Amino acid sequence: MINDAWLRPLRNLRLSVTDRCNLRCAYCMPEEEYAWLPRGDILTFEEIARLVNVFADLGVDKVRLTGGEPLLRKDLPRLVAMIAAEPRIRDLAITTNGILLAAEAEALRKAGIGRVTVSLDTLRPDRFRVLTRRDSHAQVLEGIEAVHRMGWSGLKLDSVVIRGTNDDELADLIEFGKRTGAEVRFIEYMDVGGATRWTMDQVVSRAEMLERLAARYGAVEPVVEETSAPADRFRLSDGTIFGIISSTTAPFCASCDRSRLTADGQWLLCLYATAGIDLRRSLRDGSSKEEIAALIRSAWQGRRDRGAEERLAVKDRQPLIQITELRARPHLEMHTRGG
């Protein structure tokens, strides 16, 4: 196990397997056009598996597949099986928008995915269409139902809460979670990556969400647990558990053990990092496993990132990155770094 400069271990790797997406969520990909990563730069499954093996040597035991939309990556279950074959990865999960999930769920589970998180911001098809600029709400719900029908435990539903867009659906989403055996997690709207339309007044804080849920359900109790997971969990009086990821108003950088690998092999030490470490070059220039491990080890040991906490100190917050800069540097996009 290796620690960074603030004694945070390297344990949790989010692997983006593609930067492509079949939705255009307003808080992530609001533009009409995007510059995609060149195909030849995208890591092969064999390259990803080599890196996972090195990361496991260094203490990583949790991997989450993400994107872009990870289910757009051709033959994904083959990659899942390759990662699942690494016994030190004890938690292998995926975050998906759910559109292709109904068709893929069996294969993913068989290949070794342990837990699925589906992003679902609204239960209303008309809202979904406006929010994502696509008409796929029914497929997303089918994907969630498919996981439920399989009796696959550990299902989570992640909702980005935006004032004036879906903040009147907190209780409806919790009720939907009850029906589908899923734990709902509300995410504060973040000012990262492609969120070029972000404004602070659209952010519904954790405190406000709790207040609203208490008004509807009565007492909301915090669940006491020792974990580096980003969500604070809460319990309603009927026992229902839900989470809140308060990255904007109450960040959790102090315990952050997460890093991110983009589909083209840039390793980012923080969601807010402006530059990454080029592991694709190391994979392709003949570097040995030991050399790659040494590069990762020294980068992690020097890690001081606390991006979300630093943003908290900024007065009069605006979107982090302007559109012209995003066009020039697609690695700054949320859909490239994997959320």
Contact footprint for ligand SAM (CB under 6 A): 21, 27-28, 66-67, 69, 95-97, 119, 158, 160, 187, 189-190, 192, 195, 334-335, 338-339
Closest separation between CB of residue 132 and ligand SAM, Å?
Answer: 9
Distance, in Å, from the CA atom of 313 to the CA atom of 177, rounded to the nearest integer, reads 35
Q: CA angle 137-140-144, nearest 5°?
A: 140
Nearer to ligand SF4, 53 or 97 (CB): 97
Q: Which does 306 bind (CB under 5 to 8 A by kind): ligand SF4, ligand SAM, none?
A: ligand SF4
Q: Which residues, 52 to 91, sit near ligand SF4 by CB under 6 A?
A: 67-69
268 strand-pairing partners = 260
Q: Residue for token digits 């040991």?
A: 301
Q: Which amino acid is at 215?
A: A
List Cα–Cα distances, 280 to 50, 71, 290, in angstroms: 11, 22, 15
Question: For residue 219, what are its two tokens?
Answer: 């007492």
List 144, 187, 271, 292, residue binding ligand SF4 (CB under 6 A): 271
Q: Which does 271 bind (CB under 5 to 8 A by kind): ligand SF4, ligand SAM, none?
A: ligand SF4
DSSP secondary structure, 196-254, as one string: TT--GGGBPPHHHHHHHHHHHHS-EEEPP-----S-EEEEETTS-EEEEE-TTTS--GG
Q: What residue 158 binds from ligand SAM, ligand SF4, none (CB within 5 to 8 A, per partner kind)?
A: ligand SAM
Between 21 and 144, whose beta carbon lies closer to ligand SAM? Answer: 21
Q: Which is nearer to ligand SAM, 97 or 122 (CB)?
A: 97
Least Å distance, CB 173 to ligand SF4, is 16
When CB distances are held under 5 to 8 angstroms depending on the partner's kind, the choice from ligand SF4, ligand SAM, none that residue 307 binds is ligand SF4
Under the binding rule (CB under 6 A), the answer on residue 232 touching ligand SF4 is no
- DSSP summary character for residue 35: P
